[in-house]
Structures are given as structure tokens and as C-alpha cells.
DNA sequence: TTCTGGATTTGGTTCAGACCAAAATAACGG
DNA sequence: CCGTTATTTTGGTCTGAACCAAATCCAGAA
């Protein structure tokens, strides 16, 4: 019985059948028929329900995944990652497929060298700007989200301080991935006031080293912050 | 008759069979086995030649199309749109404003670490592919442009070997900048056959170190190639 | 020769089925 | 009650086949 539960989708539409599945599913997601962060039916189930082949469902899910509406885990299922209520920022495809560990690896490569370059290139004015960011960071008590935003800005300023456009472009990708990681992995859960204070000490030391143009010290502090991030990462199961 | 011209691809590799087709075709394109702007064999033909299903060939072509290496016209065929001479490729804004020195700095940061990661992540198949590129590089006598293209492909494969999408994305920016730099600075002026031979020795050592999974050795060879590039750079006024 | 119309080739889409590997779940033994 | 093992579920990949529509090719008519 391969007949036709579905009226007809084989007409007129651009890339018709797959598009039909995409439209159907994305509508259900946006309308929260499939709630955020919850599982949607298995591919085989969807194929049967919609009266199409599993292949077709897969292709539709591929595109939804690229759009950042769902996330898939082999053996587990497909999950909605679309938050209709919240700030909907476009996530780059790279960020989406970068895991927390891969992010840490990349940061471990870039950041220590980046701060070295920044130190020998930053103008006093840029350092002043940095200190302003630091002040705001030190004012934060418990607002994890605000703190992470400021961290991001702090890092971005350091990248700018290198004066290397290629490095800045690369680091922007890293920042995107980091923001994405923060959203999905829910760092904030573990970013307690005590830990924030710990980070503040790290960044304070980092800034002082930069202001003093102490390259090795700054590089070490940069690694320290990275290690703190890693600890936070390991807190999660 | 559907048997196996190709040894076996059904093992272990991440997305293996499709990847095999992608690698095979992109290598042929880069090495100009399929000349620029010319037709490549039909999907059905390729499927038969490579011993895979047409579906698989299609998926590979999809990705090559996304990379901008080919263009397809229904009823007509698939055509190479990759110009190894670099005549009219869109240069990213970053590449445009990145200087040769800044490029070298960035490569110095990324490449030695990249090859480390690649060594512990590359599958034997990926290493085989790498050796194939190397062979083509060693066959080059005096064609500087072709050699640089192959270098680029060699590096790209190493970046892919890390399995880190974020790193790959970053390194793609580096490659763009490098290509741009090559065009403007006219490396080829100084890329004499003698120097090409020098590079070939460097890459040969690099590959052997990778194949032997000798991390430190590989990292050193990677730096060596970089230094050779720097020398070439200094030749220019 | 030129034009026209069908046959052929080529990419585009969908289907149905098979097998794999990772994850989750159930069953079992301590 | 917990830990371990077997089973099932789920996404991931590949195959082979069929049909469509756009381009192209080619033979026959004007």
C-alpha cells in the first residue's frame, strides 16, 4: 500500500515533496506543536504519518538542522532547538556543528598566541577600553549571562588589539561557537557567584599583565581562564 | 558487474563512501584532470566507474557544488567552475585586507597545532588520500601555479583530518587569504624549479612524519615549510 | 540548407529496502 | 538495589530502481 494518504504534493511546488515535509514540520515547530527542546517522532514514524519515504523525511530534517531548528543524535532522536520565545540570533552553521571540546581545543591554540600579539600591538587607548570592560565585569555579581557577554567583548577587544584582520576573522568564528555552546550547554547553571569571582580574579590578572606589557604572564593568565572554562565544562554530565 | 573496482569503502570512515567520491573528484579537479569549464562524466557514468550508487555520486556532487567547484545544468551536465589560475574567484573581504606578514603569523599559530591534531585523528584512508596529493606534488617540475594549488589541497586535507569543524572553518579563511596573497604578491616569480624541489623535500618529510604518526617530527616539518614560505616572501621587495 | 519534432542524454526527485553504529531500554544476576 | 548484559529503538549511510523535466542530438520534411 504505497498509495496516497496525502492529498497530493507532487505538483507545482519547488522541490515539492521534500518542501512539503519541511513546511509541515517547521510549522509544527514554530507553533510549538513540537515543544522546544523536546523530541519529535522518529524518522520512520514521520515517514509513515506523512505518507512519504524515509529518505524524503531525512532530507527535510537535514535542512531543518542546517537552519538550526533541530538537533539530531544517533540512537537518541531529533530534538527541537528552536526557541520561539527568546532572542533568536542567527547561529552560523560552523558554530552549530562544533562541540564544546573542539571549541576548547581551538581556543587553546588561538588565545595564548593572540594575547601575545595584542600586547605588542595595542595602543594605550585600546588598553583603556579594555580596562573599562574589565570594570564592568568586576561589577557583575551573579548575572551569568551578562558576565559571559562581557567576557566575549573582552576577548574580542584583545583580538582587535592584534591588528591582524585574518586573526580577528577567525576569532569571530570562535566567538560565535562559544556563544552557541553557552546557549546549548547551559553553562550558566554552573556559573555561580563564587565561580564568577574566580573568573574575575583571572581576568584581573590578565589585564594587569597586558597593561604591564608582560607577555609571558599574560599568556599564562589567558591559559588560566581557559582552564577555568574547562573545569566548568567538566561539571556537566 | 556491479562488483568492485575500488577496494572497499564500507569501513570505519566518517561518512566514508560519499567522502571518498568527494575526495576523488575534487582531487581530479584541482589537478586539472578535469579541466576548468569543461564537462565531467555523467552521474551514471561516474557511479559505474567509481563502483558506487548514483545517489552517492549525487550527494558528493551536491557538496562540490556548494563549495563552488562545479555547476550543474539539468539535461546538460556538470561543469568545472574551479579556476586553478585563480582568475575570477570572489575574494573574501578578510583576505583582501590581510597582509602577507599577518598571514604568516596566523599560519604559524595554526598549522603546527593543526598537524598535531590531524595525526591523532586521521584515518588510514585519509592518509592514503594525502599521499596521493603528495605524489601529484612531486610530479610537478616547474608549474608554480599547479604546485601552489596542490599545496592548498594538501593543507586542506590536513585541516579536515583534525575533524574539528571550527578549525576547518578558520583554516578556510587562511587558505583564502593565502590564495589572494599568492595572486597579488606573485610568489610564482620566485618559485623556481629549484625552490619547488626544496618544498617537495619539505612536504615529503611532513607526510612521512604524519604516516608514521610522529607528532613532534610532523610539527617541525610543518614549521619548516612555513619558514620556506617566509624566505620566499623576503625575496620580494 | 534549414527547420521541425521525436528520441536520447543528463541532471532532479522520490521511493523502498538493507545494513550499521550509537543510544536507550529492558532483562537479568549479583 | 545496583551494575551488567542483551535487545530494541533511532539516526546514519548506501544501494538500486523508477520516473520526471530540461537540454541536446539527430533524422526527416520542407
Q: Assess if residue B52 is contained within a domain.
A: yes
Is strand C in 7 Å reach of the CB of A78? no
In chain A, the number of structural domains is: 2
Closest nucleotide to A77, Cα to C1': D10
Region of poorest pLDDT, from A12-16, B4-8, B86-90, B197-201: B4-8
From A58, A80, A102, the end of a domain falls on A80
pLDDT greater than 60 at residue A9: no
Averaged pLDDT for residues B162-177: 93
pLDDT at residue A160 is higher than 70: yes
Q: Which nucleotides of D are covered by protein (CB under 7 A)?
A: 9-18, 21-24
CB-CB under 8 Å, B94 with A165: yes
Count of Cβ atoms closer than 10 Å to residue B165 Cβ:
21
Buried b (16+ CB within 10 A) or exposed e, A113-137: bbbbbbbeebeeebbebbeebbeeb
Percent of chain A with pLDDT over 90: 62
CB contact under 8 A, A169 and B173: yes
| Residues B60 and B157 grouped into a single domain | no
Q: 0.85 cut: is pTM over it?
A: no
Task: Output the pLDDT for position B145.
Answer: 85
Size of interface A-B (CB pairs under 8 A): 61
Are B34 and B28 within 8 A, CB to CB? Answer: yes
For residue A51, pLDDT beyond 80: yes
Residue B155's pLDDT is 95
Q: Which residues of B touch A174 (CB under 8 A)?
A: 166, 170
What is residue A182's predicted lDDT score, i.e. its pLDDT?
76
- Looking at A59, A80, A101, the residue that finishes a domain is A80
Structure confidence at residue B8 as a pLDDT band (50, 70, 90): very low
One domain, residues B101 and B218: yes
Residue B185's pLDDT is: 66
Name the residue with higher pLDDT: A229 or B212.
B212
CATH of the domain at B44: 1.10.10.10
Return mean pLDDT, chain A. Answer: 86
**For testing contact with chain B, the best of A170, A173, A180, A181 (most B CBs within 10 A):** A170
Length of chain B: 237
Q: Which structural domain range is residue B128 located in? A: 93-236
Which tens digit of pLDDT belongs to each residue from A114-132?
999 999 999 999 999 999 9
Instruction: Please judge whether B166 and A113 are an interchain contact, meaning their C-beta atoms are less than 8 angstroms apart.
Output: no
Residue B113 reports pLDDT greater than 60: yes
d(CA B224, CA B214): 15
Residue nearest to nucleotide D23 (CA to C1'): B75
Q: State whether B94 and A164 contact (CB < 8 Å).
A: no
Report yes or no on B87 lying in a domain. no
Interface touch B170/A170, C-beta < 8 Å: yes
* Distance in Å, alpha carbon of A165 to nearest chain B alpha carbon: 6
The integer distance in angstroms from the CA atom of B52 to the C1' atom of D21 is 25
State whether A57 and A168 are in the same domain.
Answer: no
For residues A177 and A230, membership in a common domain is answered with: yes
Where does residue B216 rank: exposed (0-12), middle (13-18), buried (19+ CB within 10 A)?
exposed
The sign of the torsion formed by the CA atoms of A166, A168, A174, A180 equals: negative
Does A106 lie in the same domain as A64?
Answer: no
Whether residue B226 sits in one domain with residue B112: yes
Instruction: Please tell me which of A1-10, A30-39, A187-196, B51-60 the model is most confident about, judged by mean pLDDT.
Output: B51-60
A66 and A127 both lie in a single domain: no
Residues B163 and B193 in one domain: yes
Amino acid at each position: 500500500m504505497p498509495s496516497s494518504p496525502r492529498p497530493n504534493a507532487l505538483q507545482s511546488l519547488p522541490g515539492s515533496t521534500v518542501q512539503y515535509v519541511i513546511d509541515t514540520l517547521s510549522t509544527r515547530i514554530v507553533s510549538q506543536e513540537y515543544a522546544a527542546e523536546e523530541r519529535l517522532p522518529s524518522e520512520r514514524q514521520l515517514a509513515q504519518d506523512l505518507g512519504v519515504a524515509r529518505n524524503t523525511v531525512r532530507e527535510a530534517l537535514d535542512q531543518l538542522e542546517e537552519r538550526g531548528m533541530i538537533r539530531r543524535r544517533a540512537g537518541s532522536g531529533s530534538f527541537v532547538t528552536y526557541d520561539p520565545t527568546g532572542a533568536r540570533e542567527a547561529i552560523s552553521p560552523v558554530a552549530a556543528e562544533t562541540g564544546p571540546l573542539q571549541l576548547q581545543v581551538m581556543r587553546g591554540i588561538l588565545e595564548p598566541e593572540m594575547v601575545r600579539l595584542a600586547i605588542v600591538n595595542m595602543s594605550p587607548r585600546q588598553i583603556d577600553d579594555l580596562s573599562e570592560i574589565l570594570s564592568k565585569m568586576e561589577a557583575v555579581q551573579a548575572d551569568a549571562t551578562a558576565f559571559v557577554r562581557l567576557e566575549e567583548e573582552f576577548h574580542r577587544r584583545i583580538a582587535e588589539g592584534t591588528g591582524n584582520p585574518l586573526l580577528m576573522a577567525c576569532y569571530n568564528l570562535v566567538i560565535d561557537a562559544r556563544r552557541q555552546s553557552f546557549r546549548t550547554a547551559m553553562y550558566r547553571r554552573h556559573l555561580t557567584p563564587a565561580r564568577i569571582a574566580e573568573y574575575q580574579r583571572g581576568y584581573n590578572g590578565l589585564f594587569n599583565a597586558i597593561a604591564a606589557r608582560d607577555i609571558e604572564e599574560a599568556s599564562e593568565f589567558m591559559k588560566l581562564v581557559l582552564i577555568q572554562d574547562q573545569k566548568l565544562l567538566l561539571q556537566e554530565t
